Amino acid sequence: MLISLVIGTTVSTIKDPTLSGRKLLILRQTDVDGKAFGKPYVAVDTLDAGVGDLVLTAHGSSGRMTELTKNKPVDAVIMAVIDHLEVGGKVTFDK
């Protein structure tokens, strides 16, 4: 899983019919302190996450292992909202 920051939202009228009503958020991977790097990607939100939340995303076929994404043409899902991260005995991120 990747530690990622939710940075934005997408709107698509024309999409695969199985994705109707699914929320597709824009994210960027972060370091353990929640600082974003790299290029944006899009994941399905199943946990009512919002812009500014630090989350974990599962990719590939694992992105389809939730009730809302099963058998759908999506390859990334938010499966946890992070409360805090601890590295080397120090809290590096706290919600």
- Which residues of the shown chain bind its own copies in the complex (CB under 8 A)? 1-3, 7-16, 18-19, 24, 26, 29, 31-32, 37, 39-43, 46-47, 49, 51, 56, 58-66, 69, 71-77, 79-88, 92
Distance CA 16, CA 73 (A): 8
For the bound state, the minimum distance from the C-beta of residue 49 to its own copies, rounded and expressed in Å, comes to 8
Q: Give the nearest distance from C-beta 19 to its own copies in angstroms.
A: 7
